[in-house]
Amino acid sequence: MNVAFPERLTLLWLLVPVLALLVYGLGRKRRLLARLADERLLLQLAGPPGWRFEVVARVLVFVAISLLLFAFSGPRWCSGERLVKRESFDAAFVLDVSNSMRAQDVRPDRLTRAKRELVEVSRRVGRGRRSLVVFAGSAALQCPLTADQAVFETMLDIASPELVELQGTDLGGALRLAGKTLDSGKGRSSLQVIVMASDGEDHVGAGAAVAAELAVRGTNVFVIGVGGQNPVRVPVRSTVGEEPEPLLDAQGRVVMSRLEGDVLSHIASAGGGDFFLSTEDQQAARALAERLMSFDADTRWVREPLCRVELMPFFVLPALLLLFAAELMTRRRRIS
């Protein structure tokens, strides 16, 4: 047995806080009952507390959640193997989520426009694996390398400035993390590229230097510039249908922002890639995807399961039965 989406197994870490909440809830219930009345009085009014039922019910809930999380990874039974030829192509998508990306000089705002461009590039390229790095003053891995387009798009959709605690813009740090993400992927690809979407503000100024280092290692950097040439106000938050509240700096001045095309073009040039502009009248995704598809990725033979039997129902059904049993035990205790 194996799983179709091994990257989703990381969700099993959620079992740690789930277990903590279940144990905490049981302990809190016992403390509240102890405060409510004397133990003898509760015994006369409500009968034995039946902690065994409580413990068993919570164990059943924990096991059910475990089964559901594992089912989400796509367990399957495989029989036999076959050799298939696949292209070796990995792409790290890098998204600027700094406050300036809320500016609305492109509709509906720079961040939404950048997301649409990255989704379109990923869909058009189609092949290989992709990862997602989000950044502002610091960078964070939002999605590890995966061949699952749906997972990638989900993680891209929820990306926002709130995900990065340190604001500002560090293009070099984001590119460095994207490069590490590509190198750490199991089975290093022969063709690696980085696609960055940003408005070009760089408070550190190391973007071009890091891009040049990546190019030496064989990782090309392509950049999508999002925004307009004229300075515009940066809103505190994205709003629709009303005048947005402007963001103020430490001196109380309105923060203005514009596309720093020269900075982004320099990064793309240093990284051995190209710079593409995304404006109101110009989409970058199609031209960039065609450029990426022009690369000749090496092919490799990999072993793939010959027969597959999806086992998800065999995990979901027992999980639902366990949840139903836990609810019955809880209701039985209430009635008695």
Residues 100 and 163 in one domain: yes
* Higher pLDDT pick, 209 / 297: 209
* Mean pLDDT, residues 245-254: 73
Per-residue confidence at 296, pLDDT binned at 50, 70, 90?
low
* In contact, 52 and 68? CB cutoff 8 Å: no
Say whether pLDDT at 234 is over 80.
Answer: yes
Beta-sheet strands, E only, within the chain: 2-3, 75-87, 89-96, 129-135, 139-146, 191-198, 219-226, 232-233, 256-257, 275-278, 299-310
Residues 276 and 142 in one domain: yes
Residues 136 and 249 in one domain: yes
User: How far apart are the C-alpha atoms of 333 and 48, rounded to whole Å?
Assistant: 10
Residue 325 CA, distance from chain mean position: 34
Residues 135 and 273 in one domain: yes
Residues 235 and 140 in one domain: yes
Cis before residue 6, ω within 30 degrees of 0? no
DSSP three-state, residue 151? helix
Please, which residues bridge with residue 88 across strands? none
Ordered DSSP codes for 12-29: GGGHHHHHHHHHHHHHHH
User: How far from each other are the two terminal CA atoms of the chain, in whole angstroms?
Assistant: 44
Residues 110 and 204 in one domain: yes
pLDDT digits (tens, 9 = 90+) for 24-82: 988 887 777 666 656 565 555 554 555 677 888 899 999 999 999 999 888 888 776 66
Per-residue confidence at 297, pLDDT binned at 50, 70, 90?
low
pLDDT digits (tens, 9 = 90+) for 150-204: 889 999 999 988 877 777 789 999 999 999 998 876 555 568 899 999 998 888 8
* In contact, 227 and 107? CB cutoff 8 Å: no
Residues 209 and 327 in one domain: no
Residues 315 and 198 in one domain: no
Range of the domain at 208: 89-297
Global pTM reads 0.65
